[in-house]
Structure formats: structure tokens, C-alpha cells
Structure 1
Amino acid sequence: MRPLIVVLVALAAFPFAVRDPYTQQIVVMALMYGALGASWNLVGGFLGRVSFGHAVFLGAGAYTTLLLLQMLKLSPWLGIPLGGLVAAAVAFIVGRPTLRLTGHYFAMATIALLSVAQLLMTNWSWAGGATGIEAPIADSAWLLLFRSKAPYYWIAFGLAILTFWATVALARSRTGYYWRAINGDEAAARSLGVPAERYKMLAFVLSAALTGVWGGFYAIYIGFIDPDSAFSLTLSIQIVLVAILGGVGTLVGPWLGAALLIPLAEGMRVAMGSSGHGFDLLLYGLAIVLVSLFLPKGLITLRVRRGSAGSR
């Protein structure tokens, strides 16, 4: 509990101590990817179904939020949660056939889902087609449109706290224990009376809803969304990587992975400039290889090892 309080106090004090917009943006992106990794972790970590298509739900939330803002002038304060609901509905529809699959078949199905979603949005002219849609330029708290990074930081900070609380509450509830049981041995869990199909769907829908909410924030934050950026396989892989790097199936792991990987990748991208195009992806791959070799259970094991060493 004490480390968590220290982190929260440090994050709350950060925008007052550091006013550089670029540094604030890095922290915002780290919070976002940590939350996306934690959302994915409900399915990939606790349930044990590795999805490479979670960008579908981020894109659903992003497009819903911006389309409602552009077409109906609906505030993102309402559009963002509605985006989460749309993402949850998409997960419910596609989850019925895909959750019957296991292992690499499920992973391949989620990649196919991502490709289909990208193709559909590219050819949907009402939603901007291949060119995408933009948020209006304004300075309005009601529309979540600001000229500085600081307000977005506080929104990301608040959403991150809500996401962390939600994942902790779910993981420590009976639902979380059912997910772990299904992950350990689905046949044994069924024999003990666990309604596996219902709880697999619940994990998928809740994970999608949280991802969709962050998709809405992402769209408003960058002010633009298109099929290539919203339904990107690279984006889906980045979500998976922060969870794997920090520790799959743990509550803090995805946040640790994002705290290390996002600033490091952004720093290298700036340092390399245009000559380092794609270097961040190489860095992601290298990080995963090193973690797989030396910390197969993620960065979270460093804390465990240090605690064990201190007790001896």
C-alpha cells in the first residue's frame, strides 16, 4: 500500500513540478498504455486468452467518441463512456464465436478481426473512410478540447486510477478467481460448477469496455483518428508487450511495463530522429527477448526477488 501511495502522490505532484509539454505527454502516454495493458490483462493474463486484436475495441471507442462529437456535438464527457459501451457490444458480438477457440487459434482469430475492422472502416465513407476524422479546434472544458497538455494529464490520471481500481476489484472478486480457474484448467473448472462460457464472455466484454473508454480519450487527446492508427496491429502488439514486460496476470505488471517501455521508446525516437524510424519497434522486440530470457514472469519478479533477498 505504501508504494502505491508514493506513486499516486508523485503523479499528482508531477504537472506542478514539470511543466514541459513533451514530458507531460510521455507520462500521459505511459498512463494510457499502462491502463490498456491492465485492461488486456483481464483476458490475456487472468483468463489466459492471448488477444492480438484489442485495437479493435480502442478503435470502436475512438470512432464513437469523435463521431458523436462531430455529428451530434455530443460532449466527450458522454461520448467516452458511450464509446466504452460500443466496444463492449462489439466484444459481445464477436466473442461468441472467437472465445470457443483456444491457444494460437484464438490469437489468429483476433488478428483476423482486426484486419476486417480496419478494412470496413477504410471503406466506410460516412466515418471518414481512409482519411479518418478530426476533432474540432477549440478551447472548451465541456468538449474536452484544450490548448495545453495539463488538463489532459489530469483526465488521464483520473482514468488511470479508475482503471486500476476496476482491475483490482475484479481480480480480487469471485469473478477473478473463476477466471484463474478457467485459465488453470477449464475442464476442471467446469466440473466444479464454474459457468466457463459466461465468465469468459464477461472478461472479454469488460476488457473491451475499459479499452474503448481509453480509445475515446486517445481520439480526443490526439485530435484525429483514422483506420490505420485506430485498428493497427502494431498498436495491439504494444498493448500486449507492456503487459508481458511488466508481468502477465499481475495487477501492477502492465503499469510497470508501460512506465519503462514508453519513456524509453519515446526517448530513443527523439534521439534518433527521422533516421530512427521504426527503432521503437526494434526496442520493443529487444525488451521482450531480454525479459523472456532473464525475467520470464516480467519485471514484477524483481520486487519479489528483492523481498526474498531482504528476508534472508
Structure 2
Amino acid sequence: MRIVSSLLLVAAALAYPWLVPNYYLVYAGVLTVMYAAMATSWNILGGLSGYVSLGHSAFFGLGAYGTGLLVARLGWPWPLALGVSTAGVALFAALVGVAAVRVRGASFVIVTIALVSAMNLLAQGWRSLTGGSVALQVPSPFAGLHRGQTHLLFYHLFLALLAAVLLAWWLISRSRYGSGLRAIREDEDKAESLGVPTAAYKVVAFALSALFVALAGGLYALWFGSLDPIFVFSVVFGASMVLMSLLGGRRHLLGPLLGALIVAPAGEYFLIALGETQIHLTATGVLLVLVVLFMPEGILARRWRRDHNRRAPQVLRRSDGGA
């Protein structure tokens, strides 16, 4: 049944751009798939190790600006620019992670917020390099395509990224390394006493999570073509990744994907309904608070618990010799 459901989900994802009536809905689909890829990337750290980062938009922004600057200022081919930028961000994240993972809980959250805030101020202040609030303009690598065709192309590029991140999460979760990360999530001190190299495991998870988020940022720069530091280095943007993972269920492979399918279209609806104001961002914050308070384990966790409770009486009857 799971295989059939997975195949249907893949078929629906591939067919989506050809089924919707206009290119705006394709654009909305690109955003949704991009958010799903980033939320799943965040979940490599947040879901497996339990470390909550609100600053992952720093890596998204660095990946976007790194790729954009290499293409716009140096004229690099976009695949090379994307690869070099992503690798650079992953290395930077590993260096930051060495210091960041020394603290836990609220202190770790504060460190990640400080990181994205520092990147925001740097990008706005260094106008000669980034363009500041005027925005950095990145030439399209597919100039021969009109905007709608570009949406179609990048929809499938982001879909390939999502597939890669889902595969990475699935492989990690079933490995010895993934077991170590879950041990850290449940009781870090006990995990360390049992021989788990907790510091190294956390740094690797931090860097790997940042790598995929940076890759999404680079693709975003090539697709959207205009980079505003206020958006790409936004704490609210980072919080959206957390919200999607929490809402769907951060301990589950498809939890962030489910959350993205709910939150991303809702965000677009609020943006259209409320206009270019900050009210739609407030709606995201309120939703995050409600999820944390009333459904911290997510939708999939509630469904799993309900199904488990239904099966429990049958198991008990069998153990008692019942039919």
C-alpha cells in the first residue's frame, strides 16, 4: 500500500504543471516544492538530532548570493557557480557548527538567529557587492525561454532536489549515524556516555542540512533573478521551515513535505488576500505558535498514534489466545 501511495504521489507531482490552468499556479507549485525541499533539509538537523535552528535562511541566502554573484559578476556557467557556492556554504556551515553545537536548547536557537541577522546586515550594508536593498539582478541561464517555461523548468529542478533530500533523509535515518542522531535527540548526555561522538555527529548534520538549503538558495537565485537581502536573510523565512516540519511531523520522512503542502499555499493565499503588508507574515508566526502549543509532534505523529492505538487491542487479544 505504501509503494502504491508513493507512486501516486510521484505521478501527481510530475503531472501537476501540466494539469493546472495557468502559469501562476505553476509558479506557486515551484514555491511549494522549494519550501518542501528546504523543510526536509532542515529536518536532517531538527528532526533527527532535535536541534532547532531558526537561522537556516542564512544558508539559503548565502547559497543564493554566492551563485548569483558568480554568475552575474564573474560570468561563470550556472552549474559551476551553483556547485562552488553550495560547497562553500557547506564548509562555512561546518565551521559555524563547530561553535554553534557547543550550546543547547534556547542558546542554540539564539546563536542561529544571530547568524541570520548578521548575514542580513552584511548583505544590506555591502551595497557595492550585493546591491543592498536595490537587489542583486541575476541573469537567467535560460534566456531563450519565456517566464512560464522557466517556471516549468525550475519546478522540475526543485522537484529533483526534493527527491534527493528525501533520499538523503531516508538513508541517514536507517544508518548507524542516524541512530546516533536519534540518541542525541532523546538524551544527549546518555548518548555521549555510550560512546556516540555527539559533537562530530551534530556538526555533520548541521553542514549537510545547510548544504541542501544552500542548493535551494542557488536555484532560487537562478529562477527568480532578483535577490533582496530582507527576504533571503529573514528569520521569518527560516521559521517557515520549522513550521512546515513541526506541522507535518519532524520525526517522519514525509512530515516536512506535508507541512509545506499546507503552509506554502496558505502563505500565497494570505499574500494575495492581504496585499504587500506584514500581516501575512504575522499569520505565519501565529500558526507556528499554535502548532508548538497544541500539535508539537505534527499531523503524521497523531495519525500514527491513532493507528497504533487501534491495532493494540487486536494484538492483546492474540496474546490472550483470542481470535
Aligned equivalent of 1:104: 106
Matched, 1:126 2:160: no
Opposite residue 227 of structure 1, the aligned amino acid is: P
**Partner Cα distance (1:114, 1:268) in 2:** 25
How far off its partner does 1:128 sit?
A: 2.4
Q: How does 1:103-252 map to 2 (within 5 A)?
A: 103-124=105-126, 125-136=128-139, 139-140=142-143, 147-148=147-148, 149-252=151-254
**Partner Cα distance (1:187, 1:253) in 2:** 27
Instruction: Give the paired residue count.
Output: 307
**Partner Cα distance (2:165, 2:231) in 1:** 23
How far off its partner does 1:119 sit?
A: 1.7
Opposite residue 131 of structure 2, the aligned amino acid is: G
Aligned equivalent of 1:288: 288
Q: CA RMSD in A?
A: 2.0
Give the conservation status (yes or no) of the 8 Å contact 1:57–1:90.
no
**Partner Cα distance (1:280, 1:4) in 2:** 33
Cα distance change of structure 1 residues 46 and 146 upon mapping to structure 2, 3 Å threshold: farther
Cα distance per residue 1:76-129 (max 9 Å; x no partner):
222222222121111112112111001101111111111111222222222323
**Partner Cα distance (1:272, 1:199) in 2:** 43
**Partner Cα distance (2:305, 2:156) in 1:** 34
**Partner Cα distance (2:178, 2:140) in 1:** 42
Matching residue within 52, 64, 67 for 2:66: 64
Cα distance per residue 1:180-207 (max 9 Å; x no partner):
1112122211222111111111001100
Give the conservation status (yes or no) of the 8 Å contact 2:137–2:227.
yes
TM-score, L = length of structure 1: 0.91
Opposite residue 297 of structure 1, the aligned amino acid is: E
Cα distance change of structure 1 residues 169 and 146 upon mapping to structure 2, 3 Å threshold: farther
Opposite residue 63 of structure 2, the aligned amino acid is: G
Opposite residue 224 of structure 2, the aligned amino acid is: I
**Partner Cα distance (1:129, 1:265) in 2:** 25
Aligned equivalent of 1:23: 25
Opposite residue 136 of structure 2, the aligned amino acid is: I
Give the conservation status (yes or no) of the 8 Å contact 2:243–2:291.
no
Q: Secondary structure at the match of 2:192?
A: helix
TM-score, L = length of structure 2: 0.88
Q: Secondary structure at the match of 2:275?
A: helix
Cα distance per residue 1:223-242 (max 9 Å; x no partner):
11132122111111111111
**Partner Cα distance (2:4, 2:174) in 1:** 19
**Partner Cα distance (1:309, 1:13) in 2:** 36
What runs of 5+ residues in structure 1 fail to find an aligned partner? none
Aligned equivalent of 2:316: none
How far off its partner does 1:284 sit?
A: 2.2
How far off its partner does 1:63 sit?
A: 0.7
How far off its partner does 1:29 sit?
A: 1.0
How far off its partner does 1:146 sit?
A: 5.2
Aligned equivalent of 1:41: 43
Q: Which has the larger radius of gyration?
A: 2
